[in-house]
Structure formats: structure tokens, C-alpha cells
Amino acid sequence: MSGTDLNDLIETGMKPARPRLYRVVLLNDDFTPREFVVSVLKRVFGLSRDQANGVMITAHRKGVCVVAVFTREIAETKATQATDMGAREGYPLRFLTEPED
């Protein structure tokens, strides 16, 4: 912070800006097995079986589904981990990130 310390922020009532949030989006494909998608959602995003199944079914029916919302670095890391898990098994599984509105 250029010339401003915590005490100055407290005295003026200013609050630090909240970081911008990013959605992690699952894209549907016709090749990745549903059970594999569920296992990725559980492992990478910590979803329960029911939550992961709901996300997978929504993506299957609508083409896309928001999995979770994180700060940019976390969202990009998780999207990459999940996409890479699919690639290692030869599946076209894809997760993208996009800024929250």
C-alpha cells in the first residue's frame, strides 16, 4: 500500500477491496463417462456424491454447469486440475473459469 497503513484504513473507515470472484464451469461432452465426472467433482472440488451427481446431470442436460466460485487463482488451479484428470484418462473433459458478474 503506497503510504497507507492499517491504522489509516481503520481511522478513515476504508475497507480493502474484495477480490474478484470467478466461476468454475463444467462443459458437457458426449464421451466422458458420467461416473468419472462425478469422481473428479468429488476429488477436486470436495463435493458430496449427491452434489457431484447434480452438477454432472445439470451439465449433461444444459450443456454447462457452474461447479463453484472462488478467487481467480483457486478457480484456475481447480479447473486445470480437473481438466488434466480427464486428459490423463483420454477424456475430453473440460472445466473453464469466467469472472462473476
pLDDT tens digit sequence for 25-73? 999 999 999 999 999 999 999 999 999 999 999 999 999 999 999 999 9
Handedness of CA 62, 83, 38, 77 (dihedral sign): negative
Q: How many residues does the chain have?
A: 101
Residue 1 has pLDDT above 50, yes or no: no
Provide the residue ranges of all domains of the chain, joining segments of one domain with +.
19-99
Over the range 49-83, which residues count as b (16 or more CB within 10 Å of their CB) and which as e? eebbbebbebbeeeeebebbebeeebbbebbeebb
Which one is predicted more confidently, 12 or 58? 58
Helix (H, G, I), strand (E, B) or coil at 94: strand
Q: How confident is the model at residue 18 (pLDDT cuts 50, 70, 90)?
A: confident
Structural domain 19-99, CATH architecture: 2-Layer Sandwich (3.30)
